[in-house]
């Protein structure tokens, strides 16, 4: 069987890296996109290629520029001869109190979380259509319930959720489009106190955090085992979204 070709954005670290490991273990060939995390991307790529020679490449692109999105998809096709799956994982996350938001923050947060996934999907669609491929968008449970202090990020992820449903209609029947909405999987790199972490965990049904592989396994399911699922957003949040 010919391996599926998967382009994962933001693949060098955290959920992106976990997804790369899981999809690679399932026999897929990968393009690992990164922007700033070159060392981590190169290390991950080398580790995957030690497991299966010639199965992964790392490519840099600043996805805030639409021309780079097109180039990334084109380079993927040049390397592998096609594309089966696009995983829109790359994201920027930081607080933006309403009274302090400036236009460059708006452009960066909307650009990385919504604009780039849209134009990557647009560029990838002709390749995906040839192989009855799919798109998986990594969203956030805060697309449904905005996170206080993070209005621009929440707006962007809400747009990505809407985009998932819209593209499922626009690109079907050949291309399936779904989303995964993580909850408390990894703590943000900005500081949270232990009390804040405990409060978040307390508002989950399962009373614990998840791990990046919980997201990775859900992505694998949507790629490999969900042929009759499209336009859906799967919350992987330990029941956090059941609370108001």
Q: List active site positions.
A: 153
Q: How far is CA 183 from CA 15, 32, 103, in A?
A: 12, 24, 28
The tokens of 48 are what?
């995957």
- What gap in Å lies between CA 216 and CA 78, rounded to an integer? 26
Instruction: List Cβ neighbours of 183 (8 Å cut-off, separation of 6 or more).
Output: 141, 204, 210, 235, 236, 237, 238, 240, 241
Q: Please spell the DSSP secondary structure of 152-194, one letter per residue.
A: HHHHHHHHHHHHHHHHHHHHTTT-EEEEEEE-SSS--SS---H
Identify the CA nearest to 112 among candidates 93, 99, 129.
93
Cis peptide leading into residue 173 (ω within 30°): yes
Three-state secondary structure call for residue 96: coil
Tokens 């994201």: give the residue.
Answer: 91
């Amino acid at each position: 069987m010919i391996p599926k070709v998967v382009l994962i954005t933001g693949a060098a670290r955290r959920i992106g890296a976990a997804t790369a490991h899981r999809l690679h273990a399932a026999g897929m060939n990968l393009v690992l996109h990164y922007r700033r995390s070159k060392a981590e991307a190169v290390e991950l790529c080398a580790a995957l290629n030690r497991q299966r020679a010639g199965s992964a490449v790392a490519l840099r692109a600043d996805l805030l520029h639409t021309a780079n999105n097109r180039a990334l998809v084109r380079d993927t096709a040049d390397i592998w001869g096609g594309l089966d799956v696009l995983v829109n994982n790359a994201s920027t996350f930081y607080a933006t109190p309403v009274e302090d938001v400036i236009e460059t923050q708006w452009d960066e947060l909307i650009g990385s979380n919504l604009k780039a996934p849209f134009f990557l999907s647009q560029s990838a669609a002709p390749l995906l259509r040839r192989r009855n491929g799919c798109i998986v968008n990594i969203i956030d449970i805060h697309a449904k319930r905005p996170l206080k202090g993070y209005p621009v990020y929440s707006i962007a992820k809400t747009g990505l959720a809407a985009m998932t449903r819209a593209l499922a209609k626009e690109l079907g029947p050949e291309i399936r489009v779904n989303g995964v909405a993580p909850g408390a999987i990894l703590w943000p790199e900005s500081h949270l106190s232990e009390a804040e972490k405990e409060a978040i965990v307390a508002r989950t049904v399962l009373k614990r955090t998840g791990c990046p592989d919980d997201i990775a396994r859900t992505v694998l399911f949507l790629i490999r085992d969900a042929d009759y699922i499209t336009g859906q957003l799967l919350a992987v949040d330990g029941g956090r979204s059941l609370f108001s």
